[in-house]
Amino acid sequence: MEVKIPVISEDRIIKRTKEVVPFGFKMSDYVRWGYLISDENKEIRKNEISLLRIKLLRMPANTMISSLGVIRHPYGVVLDVVGTTERFDEEKIIDRVFFLGTENSKIEEGDLLGTVKIIFIGVGLIINLRSVEIPRVQYGDEKIEFILKYRKDSKLRSIKTKKSTHGYWRSNLAYTEAIISDENFSIKSGEVKEIKIRDIDLPPYTVTVKWGLIENVDVYPVEIYGESSRIEDERVVSQAVVIGLADGKIKKNELLGHVNVYFVATQAIETKLKEKRILKAFLKYSEDDIKDKKLRYLHPTCFKRKDKARWDIIVSDEDKKVEKGKPVFIKIRDLIVPDNSIITPLYGMMNAIGTILGVYQPGVPPEIGEEKFISHALFLPVIDAEIEKGDLLGIINVYKVEPMTFEGFSSKLDRWKDYINYKLSKK
């Protein structure tokens, strides 16, 4: 498929034409940490997107990068990263990030802005994916120094620390958690707020990954967080950073979205898994440009993610003027995602005008087990510009999953834990 890629050249936007073919990838079971560390002092403003220069993050060839909601800066959230190459089989360098301010303040050189995971992959045409080999994993154990800022008891704290780039081993075993508002609030399009959500209890040795489908037409949860950020700890997530998609009011017990909770290992582990219960929340959705709300019972879902996945390109199917910092739904070339699949946006900006926050199916949000008919992308512009029909907006990862009962999930988790502990004892 031929697409147009907007790029900035000499302070103006030009469109570069490129032929895109349906690629897929296979993942190793090891993930390395990547630290996004400010390389400048810069004033930031609430509700505004800043392009911040970071200390160079070098990624080996045959890797891709993904968001990791473990540590966040108290003044905002990293939305996406900008690199120097598009080829997966070459070394990549990440040198800038798009940072959404949650308050008026100052970022200082050396501040940790966020963390990412560097995933080792083998890439190939989808029809040949079975024969694709996963590259040899480069574990690495470099120590990186940065300033960690966080809030405790409503006070800003700051410590200088060193952390290793040695990451974790993936289980591919996960369950879903609903992000549900725990307060009433009003919001405007493009406005950023920190709000209370219903507590999400996270077991030790877990990471969260946002569900890439937009599930509320008025607001999008950019990040969720709690006081503790160590993945080895049992912790409670009780707050969210949200951005308004339209002027509106959000009620307590309204569904904002979902996250998937994955079990991982940084060392020999003990897993703790509590049985999940059915929740209920109000869904706010739009169909034929008419907003509606309904009560839905949210059933817990456990699954195993497959090691093979594919990339789907998100291409605009309309011309649309966009305004910096104002999220907008853009009609795209229709995309069908099979049942028992999950979606995450691919990190790394593909379009100089902005980044994809997620994709959207009008009507009642679909569940994991349902087929999905994607017709729109939620696009966040970083400049005032015009999107044209045929522009590449971004890329999404589409993973097939195997749904499980809670009992089957618990049994597989125990077997994985025993395997990891045996593997680490032999080192």
Q: pLDDT (tens digit, 9 = 90+) per residue, 266-283? A: 888 887 788 888 999 999
CA–CA separation, 233 and 205 (whole Å): 7
Per mean pLDDT, which range of 18-32, 39-53, 211-225, 369-383 is the poorest? Answer: 18-32
Query: What pLDDT score does 85 carry?
Result: 67
- Cβ 138 vs Cβ 31: under 8 Å: no
Calpha distance 196→224 (Å, rounded)? 10
Q: Write down the pLDDT at residue 161.
A: 93
**Per-residue pLDDT tens digits for 253-265:** 999 999 999 999 9
pLDDT at 129 over 90: no
**Does the pLDDT value for residue 127 go beyond 80?**
no
Query: Are 122 and 88 spatial neighbours (Cβ–Cβ below 8 Å)?
Result: no
DSSP 93-160: EEEEEEEEESSSEEE-TTBEEEEEEEEEEEEEEGGGGGGPPPPPP-----EEEEEEEEEETTEEEEEE
Asked if the model's pLDDT at residue 63 lies above 80, the reply is: yes
Question: What value does the mean pLDDT of the chain take?
Answer: 90
Q: Is the pLDDT of residue 86 over 70?
A: no
pLDDT above 90: residue 245: yes
pLDDT score, position 156: 86
Mean pLDDT (whole number) for 316-324: 96
Check pLDDT > 90 for residue 223.
yes
How remote is the C-alpha of 395 from its chain's centroid?
A: 12
For residue 374, is pLDDT > 70? yes
pLDDT, mean of residues 44-61 = 92
Q: Mean pLDDT: which of 62-66, 73-77, 195-199, 204-208 is highest?
A: 195-199
Q: What is the pLDDT of residue 416?
A: 94
Is the pLDDT assigned to residue 319 strictly greater than 90?
yes
CB-based burial of residue 305 (10 Å sphere; 0-12 exposed, 13-18 middle, 19+ buried)? buried
| pLDDT of 394 strictly over 80 | yes
Write down the pLDDT at residue 10: 66
As a whole number, mean pLDDT of residues 181-204 equals 95
Q: Does residue 359 carry a pLDDT above 70?
A: yes
Expressed in angstroms, the distance from the first to the final Cα of the chain is 47
pLDDT of residue 427: 61
- pLDDT tens sequence across 143-167: 999 999 988 777 888 999 999 888 8
163, 165, 168, 169 alpha-carbon torsion, rounded to 10° = -160
| pLDDT tens profile 93-103 | 999 999 999 99
pTM of the predicted model, to two decimals? 0.93
Contacts of 121 (CB under 8 A, 6+ apart): 25, 26, 27, 28, 62, 63, 64, 88, 134, 135
What pLDDT was estimated at residue 328? 96
- Please say if the pLDDT value at position 71 is more than 80: no
- Mean pLDDT over 43-58 rounds to 93
- Looking at the chain, the whole-number percentage of residues with pLDDT higher than 90 is 66
Rounded-to-integer distance, Cα 162 and Cα 208, Å: 23
pLDDT at 425: 77
DSSP label of 413: H
Please list, in sequence order, all residues whose beta carbon lies within 8 angstroms of the beta carbon of residue 80, skipping any fewer than 6 positions away: 97, 98, 347, 348, 349, 355
Mean pLDDT of 348-376: 93
Asked if 351 and 79 touch (Cβ cutoff 8 Å), the reply is no
Query: Is the pLDDT score of 140 beyond 80?
Result: no
How does residue 18 score in pLDDT terms, banded at 50, 70 and 90? confident
Least confident of 84-98, 291-305, 389-403: 84-98
Higher pLDDT, 152 or 63: 63
